[in-house]
Amino acid sequence: MHFGWSDEKLLSEPLESLDVDSLTLLEYVMEVENAYNVILDEEEVNHCKNVGDLVRLVATARDASN
């Protein structure tokens, strides 16, 4: 649980409702890239609508790098 939300709700919640602006998203992506040693395609990141989309993008990038 995060902020009293279930994982499912957090993963499906639109990024806009989490007050994630483009700068916050860029900072997040840079941290994720460093933490997981992946490079995320900026265009694909921009198409992410929710946290679940970002998680799937990172998982795909990790699978591709192995």
Model pLDDT, residue 1: 44
> What are the structure tokens assigned to 7, written together?
């994982």
How far is 56 from 30, CA to CA, in rounded Å? 16
Q: Backbone phi, then psi, for 18, in 5-degree steps?
A: -95, 10
* Structure confidence by residue, pLDDT tens digits, 7-45: 888 889 888 887 878 888 889 889 999 999 999 999 999
Model pLDDT, residue 31: 94
> By the 8 A CB rule, do 49 and 14 touch?
yes
Q: How much is the pTM?
A: 0.78
